[in-house]
């Protein structure tokens, strides 16, 4: 709706002052090489479709009934998979909803919430939505996070790990340090991309392993990335039972049944298909490695990514120009027109074909450019 | 979680003070005659399952992609069905989510929100969640709503119509009067049950017909009742485009993709199957008529219902006793232990078999009671 036609007379001042989150473009047509919203290049486990089809054929009639309000089967499957108790697990309508409920439950306090200046751009939006005072802590020059920079009174700290859009990973030692130095604050580790960490199969990288040790850590994860289910809208949080209880109450003060019957069935099947999960996440990691090498060969600076995207800087820093040129060829990548990162592009790791297509396009583009600038 | 074990140290005071909504019991096992949460006794249109199955078979791979953020196909289908423009239509994760966003968008003001003292019990919960000042206006002695009782400065008025749990209907003339007398307030008409109104097929009863005339009316509806899709979590709001724009911004400041791909496809198919919708809602109305007659024959006071439930008072007013006795026989109905309505039961209209089962149980119960009390 064009701004001039909007009549805000009946809106609350909160509604008037919102600056909503702008998700990456979701063109609803084909023929595009879509590397802009970090979706998984692989389809979800076939077990997901089977489980949903089973509900449709054997229990279609049951769609008339409300779903399980606390998604107990799904939470039980997650608890078993992550070796937690079911009351340490919360699920919601995508990790975005889970994060919103976290903001509403823990950060509406005198002390501010701390977050890196460059991170998931929904955090400042939530802060505005819920009236939370957010203080941004600058990343280091190399985009890494220095835990010592967070030494100030706060209601909480929220960090995407791996961070978005940089893809850099904070160590478990640093997370433990943050949690113990801020024992009166809630430390949210947003692990949307953690399953793609290079070291995921070798060493423990997820802060889920700290839940029983640190009662003030909440870890959020999502089915949208490593489980290829962005279309199903399921996210989760892991924490000690008292923090999960707060989220549950907040949920039941907002929307009692956020997960529909089919999403619950599909997500549960996804959790149970461990082999498929391990196999596809390793494939994405391998594809990232080859994409990284190809980009470096083209002269790009590529940050060491632990996610299913790479954060890269073209030699001349004209990220915006590269994004536009790719767009003309039907390849969409994400450019953030923001201080410090406007010379970078965030490129989702695609299929082998998509990555080749991208590299070919960039090869031609930079060959042309170098001819022009000679 | 038992209250004694909950550590609320890290909670915000808002989280500590919540009194979450308590939905009707959702036992996840069979052999129960479940007449407590106003689900439709009929399954959803077969077209719903077909549409979802089609996504699963033809586009399973697409579950890896985010869904259409604004649910444009679904909103277009609703717009066409209700003869509105697409920008007059909003959809969300059940009408509960839609209502929550309405509270957040319009009522956080100095002036209070007005609502009947007896109505959907989620309204006071939303008010608490969003810090909205809610003033309850008593229903008349006969549980009807007198528009003149709302003559006071307010940010808005929210009325369930038909009201829950009474089932009584407010006329369009009264709604128009409320809207024109409160031109600076947002009038929310929560029409979760409107499609079951006795007069739905004869006269216009839905306030959707007032949207173009009154720029301050928002009508909410749901797929959970008349469309037999409580398990799919889809609700909607109809209003002028400026009010819908506020809801859209609030949504995008909270959760960008509340409706998954399958729910969008299923709900769209439901809207398009007009015949099935008309047929099943008429069947529910007919079942309500015979259930009402049978209850009256048993000596019950039955309020004239426009919903898929009846609100009834046993002769001796011992609603709680009747609910317990039915429960022992595997029949669940809803009793609200609240002032003014604690002598009433809300009974969902079931299938012909379920209704007979209920009437038989009540017949035996009241025969026993009359023997005992003689």
pLDDT tens digit sequence for B343-373: 999 999 999 999 999 999 999 999 877 654 4
| Whether residue A148 has pLDDT greater than 50 | yes
The pLDDT of residue B373: 46
B65-81: average pLDDT: 96
Render pLDDT for A176-229 as a digit per residue (tens, 0 to 9): 999 999 999 999 999 999 999 975 555 689 999 999 999 999 999 999 999 999
Rounded Cα–Cα distance for residues A54 and B333 (Å): 30
Rounded Cα–Cα distance for residues B207 and A151 (Å): 55
Of the candidates A235, A208, A231, A280, the residue with the CA atom closest to the CA atom of residue A122: A235
Distance of CA B371 to the CA centre of its chain: 39
Closest alpha carbon within chain A to B71: A28
| Whether residue A249 has pLDDT greater than 80 | yes
Q: Which residues 11-50 on chain B approach chain A with CB closer than 8 angstroms? A: 11-15, 18-23, 26, 28, 34, 37, 39-44, 46, 48-49
Prior bond to B152 cis, omega within 30? no
The pLDDT of residue B109: 82
Of the two residues B71 and A24, the one the predictor is more confident about is: B71
Hey, is the C-beta of A68 within 8 angstroms of any chain B C-beta? Answer: yes
Q: What residues of chain B lie within 8 A of the CB of A52, using their CB? A: 52, 56, 262
Q: What is the CATH number of domain B46-273?
A: 3.40.640.10
- A152 sits in which H/E element: none
Q: What residues of chain A lie within 8 A of the CB of B12, using their CB? A: 104-109, 155
Tokens 């790719």, located at residue: A326
Where does chain A hold its CATH 3.90.1150.10 domain(s)?
A: 8-44+275-373
Q: Which residues 108-147 on chain B approach chain A with CB closer than 8 angstroms? A: 108-109, 125-126, 128-129
| Whether residue A319 has pLDDT greater than 90 | yes
Contact assignment for B15 to A246 by CB distance below 8 Å: yes
Rounded Cα–Cα distance for residues A168 and A174 (Å): 13
| Whether residue B29 has pLDDT greater than 90 | no
Where does chain B hold its CATH 3.40.640.10 domain(s)?
A: 46-273
Hey, is the C-beta of B70 within 8 angstroms of any chain A C-beta? Answer: no
Query: ipTM more than 0.90?
Result: yes
- Give the global pTM: 0.95
CATH 3.90.1150.10 fits B3-44+275-373, yes or no: yes
Rounded Cα–Cα distance for residues A350 and A357 (Å): 10
DSSP string computed for B25-46: P---SSS-EE-SS---SSPPPH
Of the candidates A47, A50, A55, A46, the residue with the CA atom closest to the CA atom of residue A262: A55
B200-226: average pLDDT: 91
Q: Which of B3, B12, B245 to mutate to test the interface with A (most CBs of A within 10 A)?
A: B12
Select from 3.30.499.10, 3.40.50.300, 3.90.1150.10, 3.90.1330.10 the CATH code of A8-44+275-373.
Answer: 3.90.1150.10
- The residue ranges of DSSP E strands in chain A, in sequence order, are 33-34, 89-92, 113-116, 134-137, 156-160, 186-190, 217-222, 235-238, 301-302, 309-313, 331-332, 345-348
Where does chain B hold its CATH 3.90.1150.10 domain(s)?
A: 3-44+275-373
Of the candidates A366, A354, A236, the residue with the CA atom closest to the CA atom of residue A296: A366
| Whether residue B374 has pLDDT greater than 60 | no
Sequence-ordered list of residues with C-beta below 8 angstroms from that of B322, at least 6 positions apart, any chain:
B314, B333, B345, B362, B365
Share of chain B above pLDDT 90, in %: 88
Q: What residues of chain A lie within 8 A of the CB of B97, using their CB? A: 254-255, 258
A113-128: average pLDDT: 96
| Whether residue A22 has pLDDT greater than 60 | yes
- Count other C-beta atoms under 10 Å from residue A172's C-beta: 17
């Amino acid at each position: 709706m064009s701004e001039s036609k909007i009549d805000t007379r009946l809106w609350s001042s909160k509604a008037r002052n919102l600056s909503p989150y702008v998700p990456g473009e979701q063109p609803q047509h084909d023929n595009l090489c879509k590397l802009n919203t970090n979706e998984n290049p692989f389809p979800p486990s076939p077990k997901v479709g089977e489980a949903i089809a089973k509900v449709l054929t054997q229990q279609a009639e049951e769609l008339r009934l409300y779903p399980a309000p606390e998604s107990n089967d799904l939470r039980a499957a997650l608890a078993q998979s992550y070796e937690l108790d079911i009351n340490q697990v919360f699920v919601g309508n995508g990790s975005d909803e889970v994060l919103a409920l976290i903001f509403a439950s823990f950060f509406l306090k005198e002390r501010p919430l701390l977050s890196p200046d460059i991170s998931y751009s929904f955090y400042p939006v939530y802060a505005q939505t819920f009236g939370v005072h957010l203080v941004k802590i600058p990343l280091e020059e190399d985009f890494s996070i220095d835990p010592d920079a967070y030494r100030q009174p706060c209601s909480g700290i929220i960090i995407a790990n791996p961070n978005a859009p940089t893809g850099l990973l904070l160590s478990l030692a640093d997370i433990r340090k943050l949690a113990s130095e801020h024992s009166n604050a809630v430390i949210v580790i947003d692990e949307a991309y953690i399953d793609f960490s290079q070291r995921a199969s070798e060493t423990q990288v997820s802060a889920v392993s700290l839940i029983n040790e640190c009662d003030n850590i909440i870890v959020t994860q999502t089915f949208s990335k490593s489980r290829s289910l962005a279309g199903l809208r399921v996210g989760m949080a892991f924490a000690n039972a008292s923090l999960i209880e707060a989220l549950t109450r907040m949920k039941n003060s907002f929307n009692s049944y956020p997960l529909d019957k089919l999403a619950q069935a599909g997500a549960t099947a996804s959790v149970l298909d461990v082999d498929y999960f391990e196999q596809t996440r390793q494939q994405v990691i391998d594809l990232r490695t080859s994409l990284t090498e190809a980009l470096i060969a083209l002269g790009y600076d590529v940050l060491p990514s632990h996610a299913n995207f790479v954060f890269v800087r073209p030699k001349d820093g004209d990220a915006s120009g590269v994004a536009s040129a790719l767009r003309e060829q039907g390849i969409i990548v994400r450019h953030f027109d923001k201080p410090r990162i406007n010379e970078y592009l965030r490129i989702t790791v695609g299929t082998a074909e998509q990555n080749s297509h991208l590299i070919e396009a960039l090869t031609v583009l930079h060959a042309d450019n170098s001819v022009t600038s000679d």
